[in-house]
Structure 1
Amino acid sequence: MGESSLMHKIHDSSSASSSSSSEDEKRPALARQAATVKAKAKEKAIHYKAEVNRLFGREQPVHKVLGAGKAADIFLWRNKRSSGMVLGAGTMLWFFFERMEYHLITFICHFLIVSLAALFLWSNASVFIHKAPVQVPQVAIPEDCLIHIVKALRFEINRAFLLLREIGTGRDIKKFLTVVGILWLISLVGSCFNFLTLFYLCFLLLFTLPLVYEKNEDQIDALAEKAMIEIKKQYAVLDAKVLSQIPVAGFKKD
C-alpha cells in the first residue's frame, strides 16, 4: 500500500514537471509569435503612412511646417498656458473693438497718450519722492530683419503678379477658374463679416485647425486624397465636354 502511494506521487510529480517543461517550451514560441504580429502591424502602419499623400504635399511634421518655434508651440497648444493667454487676449481685443465699437486708431492714440503721460509724470515726480526714474528701453528695428521681411514680401508680390499675367494671357483655363472661384468665395465671406471679424475668425482657425490636423493627420490626408481624386475626375469631364471647346489665346515669346 505504501509503495503504491509512493509510486503514485512520483508519477504525479513527473507528469507535473513534464507539463511545466512543455509550458516553458511554449512560452518562447508564443513570445515570438506576438513579436511577429506586432512587427507586421508596425510594418503595415508604416506602409499605410507611406501610401497616403500628405496634404499640400507636406513632407515634414506640422510643428516644423509652422516654424518649430514658440509660435508653433502656441498654435499647437504645446504650452497650454501661453496658448490660452494669447487666445484670450485676441478674443478680448476683438470684443473690445467689435462689440464695444472702439476704433483701432482711437485705441492706439489713447494708449500712447496714457503711456507717455505716465512716463512723463513719473520721471518728473521721481525727483521729489527720491525714486529712481523709469529706464525706458531703446527700441530699434534690426536692418537684417527688415531686409529679410521686405525680400520675402517682394517675392510673394512678384509671384502674384506672374500668376495674374499668366491668367491674363488666356493660356491656362484651370488657373483662371481656380482664381475666379477663390475670389468669389472670398467675396461671399467678406459680405457676411467685416474685416475685423474675418481676421478674428482666421485667428481662431490658427488655434484649432493645426491641432485637429496633427491629431488626425492620417484620416484627414486619406479623405483629402480621395477628394482630390474625385475633383480631378470631375475636372477631366468638364475639360473634355466644355473647356476643350473654348479657344485659348496663343502666347508669343518676346
Structure 2
Amino acid sequence: MADHAGDHDSLAETVMEKISDKLQGHDSSSSDSEDDHADKPSADAVKAKIYRLFGRERPVHKVLGGGKPADIFLWRDKKVSGAVVGFATTIWVLFELMEYHLLTLVCHILILALAISFLWSNASTFINKSPPQIPSVILPQDTVLNVASALRIEINRTLAVLREIASGKDVKKFLAVIAGLWVLSVMGNSFNFLTLFYLIVVLLHTVPMLYEKYEDQVDAFAEKAEAEIMKQYAVLNEKYLSKIPKGPLKDKKLA
C-alpha cells in the first residue's frame, strides 16, 4: 500500500512538473512574441527612414505601373523588350542613317505585301495550295474611345500643372520646369526629333533596369546631392528669391 501511495505521489509530481513546464514555455513564447511585436515597429521605422529617390515609397515596378509596360522597361520579358528596342533601332537606322522617308517606306512595304499576296492568290491554283487567308482587321470602337479618353485626361492634367506653375504659387516647381524645358531645348537643338525619340526609348529600357539593380547606391548618392542642392537653394532664396514681390500687399489701403 505504501509503495502504491508513493508511486501515486511521484506520478502526480511528474504531471505537475509537465504542466508547469508548459505554462513557462507558453509565457516565454508569448513574451518573445510581444518582444517581436515591440521590435517590429522599430524595424519598420528604420526602414521608413531609408532615403529613396524622388520620395519613392513603392518598388520601381509599381512606380512604372506594375503591368506589362513595367515588365518591358525592366526587362522582365526579355523577348518583348528586345523586340521593342530592335524595332526602334531599325526605324532609327532606316530614317536617320539611310535617310529613308516615311511615306516612301510605307509605300514600299505596301507594294511588297500586296504583290506577294496577289501572286500567291493567283499561283495557288497552279501549285495546288490554298490561297492565303488575309485576316479582316477592324478597330474596335471601345479601344479607340479608351485611348482618346486616356489622352484627354493626360492633356488636361498637363494643362492644369502648367496653369499652377504659371500662377507663381510654387517657385521650386517653376524653376524645375524651366530647367527641364531648357534641357529639352538644348537636346532638340543638338538632335532631330527621331533621334531624340530613339534616345528616349533606349533610356526607358536602360535607366529603370539599372536603377532597380543598383538602387541602394544611387539613392545614397542622390541623398547627398539633394542635400547640397537644398543648401544652395536656401542661399539663393535668401539672397534673391525672397526679395521678389509676389503681389500687392494685404495691408495696403485704397486711397
User: Does 1:182 pair with 2:195?
Assistant: no
Rounded to whole Å, the distance in 2 between the matches of 1:57 and 1:140 is: 44
Aligned pair partner of 1:208 in 201, 206, 209: 206
After superposition, what is the alpha-carbon deviation per residue over 1:83-130, rounded to whole angstroms, capped at 9, x for unaligned?
334333322321121111111222122112211222223223323433
Question: In the alignment, which residue of structure 2 is the partner of 1:14?
Answer: none
Q: Secondary structure at the match of 1:186?
A: helix
Task: Give the residue type in structure 1 aligned to 2:241.
Answer: L
Q: Are residues 151 and 187 of structure 1, via their aligned partners in 2, closer, same or farther at CA, if it must alter by over 3 Å?
A: same
Task: Give the residue type in structure 2 aligned to 1:194.
Answer: N
Deviation at residue 78 of structure 1 after TM alignment: 3.0
Rounded to whole Å, the distance in 2 between the matches of 1:65 and 1:168 is: 27
Rounded to whole Å, the distance in 1 between the matches of 2:43 and 2:186 is: 41
Counterparts of 1:43-192 in structure 2, within 5 Å, are 49-192=47-190
Deviation at residue 194 of structure 1 after TM alignment: 1.0
Unaligned segments of structure 1, at least 5 residues: 1-42
Task: Give the residue type in structure 2 aligned to 1:151.
Answer: S
Task: Give the residue type in structure 2 aligned to 1:220.
Answer: V
Rounded to whole Å, the distance in 2 between the matches of 1:194 and 1:153 is: 24
| Greater Cα offset, 183-192 or 232-241 | 232-241
Rounded to whole Å, the distance in 2 between the matches of 1:47 and 1:167 is: 35
Q: Are residues 67 and 176 of structure 1, via their aligned partners in 2, closer, same or farther at CA, if it must alter by over 3 Å?
A: closer
Task: Give the residue type in structure 2 aligned to 1:104.
Answer: L
Question: What value does the CA root-mean-square deviation take over the aligned residues?
Answer: 2.8
Rounded to whole Å, the distance in 1 between the matches of 2:169 and 2:78 is: 49
* Aligned structure 1 segments of 4 or more residues deviating by more than 6 angstroms: 43-47
Deviation at residue 48 of structure 1 after TM alignment: 5.6
Rounded to whole Å, the distance in 1 between the matches of 2:150 and 2:116 is: 38
After superposition, what is the alpha-carbon deviation per residue over 1:114-169, rounded to whole angstroms, capped at 9, x for unaligned?
11222223223323433212111222233333222222211221122222223333
Rounded to whole Å, the distance in 2 between the matches of 1:134 and 1:225 is: 60
After superposition, what is the alpha-carbon deviation per residue over 1:171-213, rounded to whole angstroms, capped at 9, x for unaligned?
4333332222111111111111111111111111122111111
Q: Are residues 45 and 135 of structure 1, via their aligned partners in 2, closer, same or farther at CA, if it must alter by over 3 Å?
A: farther
Taking structure 1 as the reference length, what is the TM-score of the superposition? 0.71
Taking structure 2 as the reference length, what is the TM-score of the superposition? 0.71
Rounded to whole Å, the distance in 2 between the matches of 1:85 and 1:177 is: 38
Task: Give the residue type in structure 1 aligned to 2:108.
Answer: H
Task: Give the residue type in structure 1 aligned to 2:132.
Answer: V
Rounded to whole Å, the distance in 2 between the matches of 1:45 and 1:112 is: 62
